[in-house]
Amino acid sequence: MLDYGEKYRGRSVLITGGMGFIGSNLARRLVEIGQVEVILVDAILPDQGGNLFNINGIEDRLRLHICHLGDVQAIRHLVAGVDYIFNLAGSTSHIDSMNDPHRDLELNCAAQLTLLEACRHFNPRAKIVFTSTRQVYGKPVYLPVDERHRIAPPDINGIHELAAEYYHLLYHRIYGLRAVVLRLTNVYGPRQMIHHNRQSFIAWFIRQAIDGGVIELFGEGRQRRDLNYVEDVVEALLLAGASEEAEGEIFNLGSDNPVSLAKLAAELIDLAGAGTIRSVPFPPERQMIDIGNFYASYRKIEEMLDWRPHTPLRVGLARTIDYYRTYREHYWYGNQGSISRSEATAPGDRD
């Protein structure tokens, strides 16, 4: 695998959605690489992933701007002069997008256009890594799903993520922006929003296991999914950012061993030593947008960028449980937390 550290040392990196789950883990990794100017921008919107505690322990080694991606003047200022942009901001909730499609449009389309227009006019040479989602494929017609699989977004969020992908590739083709798109599958790990169940079923399962609660499985949990530990995703982001060959390309992430939700739940209960499973009928609003089994092929990024996931599921889940047990208070009740400088960095988080 490319030693990408050299590509980032002495350079400046802007992370949109930088206080969120993946953004803050990426920021930690960049701080660890060292000599990287790390700039986070995040609106810290209620019920989105931004959480002030996510940068606990590294807050003196980065710059944080709390603003909306749709704030044209601020975004122009932030974009100008940076070398890399990891564009992770946006809403990822399928249910929220169906309840308020205009808000999803604002967060996932209008904001992305503001960022790309700022790049086009004020920093056309920046490298941009955009994270999209497997949701754009909809219900698979074959497995594993590769990048040539037909597109069929099953909800408003998927439609808007797809539009945002197209924006990035269009600005690459027309204006030469150095954009690359990663389609993430289910990501889990420390620093994920875990206080409601509208964004990630895994995070919610983890919470139930830790709390000794009930993990509800729709349709007996037979659906199989591929999971990526967040550190593996961060590696993919940094490899994509470091590669010129990746520009203009779309890459799936994925894992080798898709797991049924029932098995995932059982694993979590075993690791946490708590929690129970209950099978429930699919709620209608979930059934309508459920995609059945899904797992992606990551062969393309493996071949082009030499990326593959390294963290075994059980190891990743154990670390995740450990993290939330230690920092429970910062994740259980919403994202209105404050930075506590007296607390240590999470044990086991990056080891």
Q: What residues line the site for a second copy (CB under 8 A)?
A: 98, 101-102, 105, 109-110, 113-114, 117, 151, 153-156, 159-160, 162-163, 166-167, 170, 173-174, 288-289
Q: Which residue matches tokens 């564009």?
A: 87
Q: How far is the CB of 117 from a second copy (least distance, A)?
A: 7
- In the three-class reduction of DSSP (H, G, I as helix; E, B as strand; rest coil), residue 86 is classed as strand
For a second copy, give the closer residue by CB, 138 or 189: 138
- Asked if 238 and 246 count as a contact pair (C-beta separation under 8 A), the reply is no
Q: How far is the CB of 50 from a second copy (least distance, A)?
A: 24
| Paired tokens of 17 | 């959605």
Q: How far apart are CA 55 and CA 316, in angstroms?
A: 20
For a second copy, give the closer residue by CB, 167 or 295: 167
For a second copy, give the closer residue by CB, 106 or 216: 106
Amino acid at 82: V
Beta bridge partners of 216: 278
Task: Identify how many contiguous H helices and E strands the chain contains and give both numbers.
Answer: 13, 13
For a second copy, give the closer residue by CB, 153 or 275: 153
Q: How far is the CB of 290 from a second copy (least distance, A)?
A: 12
Q: Which residue matches tokens 């940094």?
A: 238
For a second copy, give the closer residue by CB, 37 or 106: 106
Q: How far apart are CA 323 and CA 347, in angstroms?
A: 7
Q: How far is the CB of 151 from a second copy (least distance, A)?
A: 7
Q: How far apart are CA 306 and CA 93, in angstroms?
A: 30
Q: How far is the CB of 135 from a second copy (least distance, A)?
A: 12
